[in-house]
């Protein structure tokens, strides 16, 4: 597992134990009502273990496993510092441990007795049954070396085997042993005692290494298996503890983990082991290793306790857990299927299931929602009651095991989507039928909506529409879009409604050839949605796209296109000619730069302006987000707002993304901060940015990226904007739905700075921004590095005095290549910067042939009356 690779400092060896116990203690305090009786007993059993025993199990929990040899654990016992802490003894001589050492065997025996690990002899009632034989063969595959396999093969076949040590021979030996063990029988019809042979091989291996096995106890544990359902429980508890901190399961997978395949059944089957045991580096563990640091500490979080319970009952939690795992599977399917859709369209199963909206889901936990829970609090009879039975545990974990069994039966993408759709419909019905569920949901703040199964299932159907469109199944995509739009609630995904209306109109008009009048009705219904009920909000970019489509359909201008016309008229377009390089279909355009080196279209524009003394950065809005994040840091991380910070391991408040709620929760603080920004002097402004930068540098934050750009560059941008425009920028960012829901998507590509001083004799000096910021910019590549990020205050005052009286110009440029055009979201941001924040923002078109420039300029002047220039 990835966390095993961390470089752990000497004084951090017990971080594993303290983190694990912190998670269990927090779950026991905050989420005890979500635990079943057997799960509660399992937690109490672990908490009663000795510190050394806990530590050994936790190190096993972090590793892949599930089979281990005892010899692989010896390094965990040999740390004298931990031995002194746990045994309260000061060893006089270094401990020499081996597999037979009493402290090793007693620790493992305690874990076996409490049901955390099991050995080959644990299942004594089925020692020679096929289930136990397959169980033993797993141990043989994972834990046996080549000499041990040779020994076992000799026992199985009854003949001497060669001792060649090539890797191919080991694979061949494993295949031979598997085949012989599974096909051979003894006289009574039972399987060969392979577990005995494996134990003998391990014992022989210890003897050959010089250890004495004389008098070895029969209960000596040389190899063992971590009980999977217990480990799965602890993983679920970790996910519950970090439910507000870690990203969605879709982000856990790295590209190397995903294998392209067109077999849905194989893709889904490959997800099941990952769902049970994800390789996650838990944030709290990384904090203890000093690999991460978050803005708020636990003491600040504890001052503002949560006022709402996230889940009503264990059934609600399991529904969310299973729905989030379905979304993980969907992510794997999308990554694997979408690239193949262009070549091999998805098979379209002609089934009436798509027209049946009330199909009962196969996943039983969603059917269990319709029955009220008998109890909402875990009852444990006694603090020392450790009776954990397999039958009771199996009954309590039935829903989870049944979910994994259902996944294995999904043979097509449509089957998977139909099941998710049925689960969503079942959850919607439960909200109507079960009064306690609907009451609990209605009392939660809006930023808790993402923690219910409805949100996860809606996200899956949203992603499924794109797959069906790629597979040319437009009728299915339209059906799903209509269902999403006709729903009374979208569980916090109302921001997607504008996109859904766009896709519905597009698919209906261009692919299904729906009559124009019906498409017009779709656009009219979408544009009037805000006015009819005031519940759903269509962000500006989506509204502009719908208005443009409506205008094309009616072929005339009306009141609905006023906003679009105003956006177009206010835009300034400029054009330059580039020398294109050869490229393949689908690749981005590349050009020969002014220095005769290949470069991107953005770098070509930076070079063009560089000769006019502009210093450009290709940042796509990141610098503006950083400046806003630094100036509004105390507002973003205001710990006294109820419920928005549930754990110390959050990179931002939960209500960010809900603009109205966010502003309402901090109205006074936002007003005071904006007023202070407006009144800052130049020295106060740069000093305030430096104060936040130096005090918070390195903290994990969704609002500031610390390592991409240096501090001085942020200070120069703030000075160039001035306090009036800074206030307008911060005010818009904090209150706009576009920034909350789409972050910086659509902000112009380039940010240009030009600082100059004109002397009385008419000469002008230009300030070298790159040199001042200590950056190394290669103009023919998209690289930007810096060597120094935290200058001292005296240096700040010095360079600030040098720039007194300078003219500071700032410009934003959206760069468009020969085959590129403005998106509707980009139009919105260009209009916002020009009209609301008063920042000069233009569009620069890079064309491949000079004759196209004249054509573009004349067309722009005739149609939009925009100011244009050509270079």
Q: Mind listing the pLDDT tens digit for each residue in 711-738?
A: 999 999 999 999 999 999 999 999 988 8
Q: At what angle do helices 264-276 and 398-408 cross, to 10 degrees?
A: 150
pLDDT digits (tens, 9 = 90+) for 315-370: 999 999 999 999 999 999 998 877 666 555 665 555 567 776 678 899 999 998 88
Q: What is the model's pLDDT at position 573?
A: 92
The tokens of 303 are what?
A: 């001052």
Among 435, 439, 472, 441, smallest CA distance to 455 is for: 441
Q: Which of 274-278, 349-353, 430-434, 865-869 has the lowest mean pLDDT?
A: 865-869
Whole-angstrom distance, CA of residue 600 vs CA of residue 595:
13
259 - beta bridge partners?
Answer: none
C-beta neighbour count of 694 within 10 angstroms: 14
Instruction: Find out whether 670 and 663 touch, Cβ atoms under 8 Å.
Output: yes
pLDDT at position 687: 93
The pLDDT-based confidence of 708 (bands split at 50, 70, 90) is confident
Asked whether the predicted pLDDT for residue 127 surpasses 60, the reply is no
* Spatial separation of the C-alpha atoms in residues 605 and 619, rounded to whole Å: 13
Residues 623 and 751: beta-carbon distance below 8 Å: yes
Res 562 pLDDT > 60: no
CB 12 within 8 A of CB 288: yes
**Which range scores top for mean pLDDT: 302-306, 595-599, 700-704?**
700-704
Among residues 373, 368, 431, 371, the alpha carbon closest in space to that of 400 is found at 368
Token pair in block for residue 302: 């504890």
Q: What is the mean pLDDT of residues 383-399?
A: 64
User: 573-577 and 840-847: which strand pairing?
Assistant: parallel
- Residue 170: what pLDDT? 79
Q: In three state form, how does the secondary structure of 129-146 look?
A: CHHHHHHHHHHHHHHCCH
Yes or no: say if 538 and 529 are a contact pair by the CB < 8 Å rule.
yes
Domain ranges of the chain: 2-210+219-230, 244-272+305-373+391-566, 573-870
Which two tokens mark 826? 């980009």
Looking only at the bridges linking them, the beta strands covering 807-816 and 573-577 are: unpaired
Q: Find the DSSP H helices in 242-348.
A: 264-276, 283-288, 298-302, 314-341
Where does the pLDDT of residue 552 fall: very low under 50, low under 70, confident under 90, or very high at 90 and above?
confident
* Strand partners of residue 754: 809
- 453-470 helix and 314-341 helix, angle to the nearest 10 degrees: 10
Reported as a single tens digit per residue, the pLDDT across 768-818 is: 898 888 776 655 445 554 434 444 445 777 888 888 888 999 999 999 998
Of residues 682, 812, 685, 828, the one with CA closest to residue 750: 812
**pLDDT: which is higher, 417 or 248:** 417
Q: In what order do the strands lie in the sheet with 117-118?
A: 67-69, 223-226, 117-118
> Which residues, 6+ apart, have CB-to-CB distance to 590 below 8 Å?
580, 581, 583, 598, 599, 600, 601
The CA distance from 64 to 23, in Å, is 20
Average pLDDT, the chain: 81
pLDDT greater than 70 at residue 302? no
Structure-token pair, residue 630: 């630094």
Q: Determine the average pLDDT of the residues in 559-584.
A: 69
Distances (CA, A) of 82 to 15, 49, 106: 11, 16, 17
Measured in whole angstroms, the distance separating CA 602 from the mean position of its chain's CA atoms is 29
What is the distance between the alpha carbons of residues 117 and 677, in angstroms, rounded to a whole number? 60
- For 633, 685, 715, 728, the CA distances from 721, given in Å and listed in that order, are 19, 11, 10, 10
**Which pair of structure tokens corresponds to residue 841?**
């923002």
Alpha helix stretches (DSSP H) within 570-621? 601-610
Helical pair 413-433 and 474-486, crossing angle rounded to 10 deg:
10
Residue found under tokens 């800074």: 726
Which of 239, 281, 324 lies closest to 34, judged by CA? 239
Do 776 and 697 meet the contact criterion of CB atoms below 8 Å apart?
Answer: no
pLDDT for position 205: 79
Is pLDDT at 693 greater than 80 in this prediction?
A: yes
Residue 815 to residue 604: CA distance in whole angstroms: 10
Identify the weakest region by mean pLDDT among 45-59, 93-107, 599-613.
93-107
Q: Which of 217-231, 240-254, 798-812 has the lowest mean pLDDT?
A: 240-254
pLDDT score at 158: 75
Residue showing tokens 């070549």: 343
pLDDT of residue 152 exceeding 90, the answer is no
Q: Is the peptide bond before 540 cis (omega within 30 degrees of 0)?
A: no
Q: How many other C-beta atoms lie within 10 A of the C-beta of residue 598?
A: 14
Report, as an integer, the average pLDDT of 196-218: 71
- How much is the average pLDDT of 568-579? 82
Out of 307-316, 561-570, 709-718, pick the least confident. 561-570
Q: HSE-up of 415 (CA within 13 Å, CB side)?
A: 13
Q: What is the Cα–Cα distance from 737 to 744, expressed in whole angstroms? A: 11
Taking the alpha carbons at both ends of the chain, their separation in whole angstroms is 56
Q: pLDDT grade, residue 227 (50/70/90)?
A: very high
Closest CA relative to residue 686, chosen from 773, 764, 767: 773
Q: Do 161 and 154 touch, CB atoms closer than 8 A? A: yes
**70, 101, 410, 471 from 97: Cα distances, Å:** 11, 6, 50, 61
Q: Computed over its alpha carbons, how large is the radius of gyration of the chain? A: 32
| Positive or negative: CA dihedral 574, 579, 581, 585 | positive
- pLDDT exceeds 60 at position 297: yes
pTM above 0.95, yes or no: no
DSSP 498-558: HHHHHHHHHIIIIIS---HHHHHHHHHHHHTHHHHHS-----HHHHHHHHHHHHHHHTS--
At 255 the pLDDT is 41
In the block, tokens 């799965």 appear at 232
**Would the pLDDT of 469 be above 90?**
yes
Q: How open is the CA angle 132-137-143, to the nearest 5 degrees?
A: 125
Report the pLDDT value the prediction gives residue 184, as an integer from 0 to 100.
Answer: 84
**Rounded distance between C-alpha atoms, residue 591 and residue 373, angstroms:** 66
State pLDDT tens for residues 819-839. 888 988 899 899 999 999 999
Residue 756 has pLDDT above 60, yes or no: yes
Please give the residue that has the higher pLDDT: either 134 or 754: 754
* CA 201 vs CA 143, 144, 148, 433: distances in Å: 11, 8, 5, 61
Convert the pLDDT of each residue in 161-180 to its tens digit. Answer: 555 544 457 788 888 888 88
Task: Please give the Cα distance from 870 to 855 (Å, whole number).
Answer: 11
Return the minimum-mean-pLDDT range out of 135-144, 160-169, 670-679, 731-740. 160-169
User: Using CA atoms, how far apart are residues 334 and 470, in angstroms rounded to an integer?
Assistant: 11
Do the Cβ atoms of 608 and 594 come closer than 8 Å?
yes
Query: What does the pLDDT average to over 728-754?
Result: 87
Task: In whole angstroms, give the CA distance from residue 552 to residue 548.
Answer: 6
Cβ neighbourhood burial of 552 (10 Å; 0-12, 13-18, 19+): exposed
**Cα–Cα distance, 216 to 347 (Å, whole number):** 62
> Does position 866 have pLDDT exceeding 50, yes or no?
no
């Amino acid at each position: 597992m990835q966390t095993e690779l961390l470089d752990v400092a000497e004084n951090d060896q017990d971080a594993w134990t303290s983190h694990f116990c912190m998670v269990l203690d927090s779950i026991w305090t905050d989420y005890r009502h979500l635990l079943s009786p057997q799960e509660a007993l399992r937690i109490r059993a672990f908490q009663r273990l000795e510190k050394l025993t806990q530590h050994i199990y936790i190190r096993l929990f972090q590793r892949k496993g599930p089979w281990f040899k005892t010899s692989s654990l010896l390094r965990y016992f040999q740390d004298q510092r931990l031995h002194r802490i746990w045994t309260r003894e000061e060893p006089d001589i270094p401990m020499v441990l081996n597999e037979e050492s009493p402290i090793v065997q007693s620790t493992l025996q305690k874990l076996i007795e409490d049901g955390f690990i099991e050995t080959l002899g644990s299942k004594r009632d089925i020692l020679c049954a096929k289930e136990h034989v397959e169980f033993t063969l797993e141990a043989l595959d994972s834990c046996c070396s080549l000499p041990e396999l040779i020994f076992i093969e000799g026992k199985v076949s009854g003949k001497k085997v060669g001792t060649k040590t090539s890797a191919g021979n080991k694979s061949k030996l494993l295949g031979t042993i598997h085949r012989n063990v599974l096909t051979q029988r003894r006289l009574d019809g039972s399987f060969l005692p392979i577990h005995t042979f494996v134990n003998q091989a391990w014992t022989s291996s210890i003897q050959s290494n010089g250890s004495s096995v004389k008098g070895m106890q029969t209960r000596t544990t040389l190899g063992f298996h971590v009980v999977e359902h217990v480990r799965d429980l602890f993983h679920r508890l970790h996910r519950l503890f970090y439910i507000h901190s870690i990203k969605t399961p879709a982000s856990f997978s790295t590209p190397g983990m995903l294998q392209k395949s067109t077999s849905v059944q194989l893709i889904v089957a490959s997800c099941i082991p990952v769902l049970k045991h994800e390789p996650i580096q838990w944030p709290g563990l990384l904090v203890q290793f000093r690999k991460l640091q978050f803005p708020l500490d636990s003491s600040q979080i504890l001052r503002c306790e949560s006022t709402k319970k996230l889940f009503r009952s264990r059934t609600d939690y399991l529904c969310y857990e299973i729905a989030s795992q379905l979304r993980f599977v969907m992510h794997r399917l999308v990554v694997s299927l979408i690239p193949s859709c262009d070549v091999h369209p998805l098979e379209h199963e002609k089934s009436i299931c798509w027209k049946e909206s009330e199909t009962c889901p196969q996943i039983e936990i969603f059917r269990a929602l319709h029955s009220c829970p008998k109890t909402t609090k875990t009852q444990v009879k006694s603090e020392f009651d450790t009776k954990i039975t397999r039958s009771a545990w199996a009954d309590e974990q039935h829903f989870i095991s049944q979910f994994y069994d259902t996944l294995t039966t999904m043979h097509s993408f449509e089957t998977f989507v139909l099941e998710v759709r049925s689960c969503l419909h079942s959850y919607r019905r439960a909200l109507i039928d079960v009064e306690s569920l609907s009451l609990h949901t209605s009392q939660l703040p809006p930023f808790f909506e993402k923690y219910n199964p409805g949100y996860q299932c809606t996200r899956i159907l949203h992603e499924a529409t794109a797959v069906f469109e790629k597979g040319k199944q437009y009728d299915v995509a339209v059906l799903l879009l209509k269902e999403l739009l006709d729903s009374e609630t979208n569980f916090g995904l109302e921001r997607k409604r504008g996109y859904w209306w766009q896709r519905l109109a597009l698919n209906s008009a261009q692919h299904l050839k729906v009559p124009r009048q019906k498409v017009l009705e779709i656009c009219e219904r979408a544009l009037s949605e805000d006015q009819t009920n005031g519940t759903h909000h269509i962000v500006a970019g989506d509204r502009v796209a719908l208005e443009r489509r409506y205008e094309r359909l009616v072929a005339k201008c009306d009141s609905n296109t006023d906003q679009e016309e105003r956006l177009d008229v206010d835009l300034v377009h400029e054009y330059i000619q580039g020398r294109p390089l050869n490229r393949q279909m689908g690749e981005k355009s590349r050009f020969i730069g002014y220095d005769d080196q290949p470069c991107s279209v953005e770098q070509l524009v930076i070079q063009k302006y560089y000769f006019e003394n502009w210093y450009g950065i290709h940042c796509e809005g990141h610098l503006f987000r950083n400046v806003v994040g630094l100036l509004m840091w105390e507002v973003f991380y205001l710990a006294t707002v109820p419920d928005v910070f549930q754990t110390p391991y959050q990179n931002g408040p939960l209500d960010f993304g809900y603009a109205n709620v966010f502003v309402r929760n901090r109205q006074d603080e936002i007003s005071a901060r904006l007023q202070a920004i407006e009144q800052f002097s130049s020295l106060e402004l740069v000093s305030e940015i430096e104060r936040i930068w130096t005090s918070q540098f390195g903290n994990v934050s969704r609002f500031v990226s610390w390592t991409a750009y240096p501090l001085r560059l942020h200070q120069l941008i703030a000075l160039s904007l001035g306090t009036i425009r800074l206030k307008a920028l911060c005010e818009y960012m904090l209150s706009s739905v576009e920034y909350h829901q789409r972050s910086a998507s659509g902000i112009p590509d380039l940010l240009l700075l030009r600082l100059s001083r004109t002397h009385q004799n008419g000469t002008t000096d230009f300030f070298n921004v790159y040199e001042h910021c200590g950056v190394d910019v290669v103009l023919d590549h998209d690289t930007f590095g810096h060597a120094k990020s935290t200058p001292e205050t005296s240096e700040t005052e010095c360079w600030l005095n040098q720039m007194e009286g300078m003219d500071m110009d700032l410009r934003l440029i959206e760069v468009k290549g020969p085959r590129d055009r403005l998106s509707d979201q980009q139009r919105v941001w260009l209009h916002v910067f020009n009209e609301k924040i008063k920042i000069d923002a233009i569009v620069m078109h890079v064309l491949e042939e000079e004759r196209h420039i004249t054509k573009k300029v004349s067309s722009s002047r005739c149609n939009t009356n925009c100011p244009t220039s050509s270079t």
